[in-house]
A = this chain, B = another copy of it.
């Protein structure tokens, strides 16, 4: 039977520019009573602490409520929609999201956190670091919180990944009745990011979670940029 264990890693603490996330995650996981990392785990790390560790922080005027708008425009390659304070744009990384992924919550007042320069690379670094520090072969996902076009509420998505298929290609897999399936490509890193978010919560500041029990055949080289980011030419809504 297929079974997953999803748990938060407590005790990460406040992350500062230059911090070595792999060391901090490995130490916090080992310190927990039953959260030590194991081969085959998927470690999900929120964008916020990756951006902080990589010093993707920009000073903004805390007295101006629209203080991050020039940043949003600078980080965007294409504005899709504006409504009031909200800008939906395509970032230089190819993500389409609100306010170019720039975030002011869980960041000190007067500062904004930009997205990591290359979140797949960030995931690879953390993965390599965990191999060195904790001696484990894991996959890593960098997650962020995005809205959806036609559905209320936000969910987490993967903005970077390493060591796991970002999209699982089921083309040609027979369905339960033996015929070829129509629904073919499952964005498993996004689903894993969602599972992790359920134990992180938004307000309690737990920035790392583990999803244990993922099918071993899903572990391979892969990246969000190559597999998930949709090219504008393939896109009906840009």
A residues whose Cβ falls under 8 Å from a Cβ of B: 1-8, 10, 32, 35, 80-81, 83, 88, 90, 95-96, 103-109, 145, 148-157, 166-168, 170, 173-177, 179, 181-183, 185-188, 190-192, 194-195, 197-206, 211, 213-215, 227-230, 234-238
CB neighbours (8 Å) of A203 from chain B are 170, 173-176, 181
Question: By DSSP majority rule, is chain A's interface helix, strand, loop, or mixed?
Answer: loop
CB neighbours (8 Å) of A6 from chain B are 3-6, 195, 213
A237 near B150 (CB under 8 angstroms)?
A: yes
Report how many copies the assembly holds. Answer: 2
CB neighbours (8 Å) of A238 from chain B are 150
Nearest CB on B from A153, distance (A): 3
Looking at A4, A32, A177, A201, the one whose CB has the most chain B CB atoms below 10 A away is A4
CB neighbours (8 Å) of A227 from chain B are 152-153
A108 near B152 (CB under 8 angstroms)?
A: no
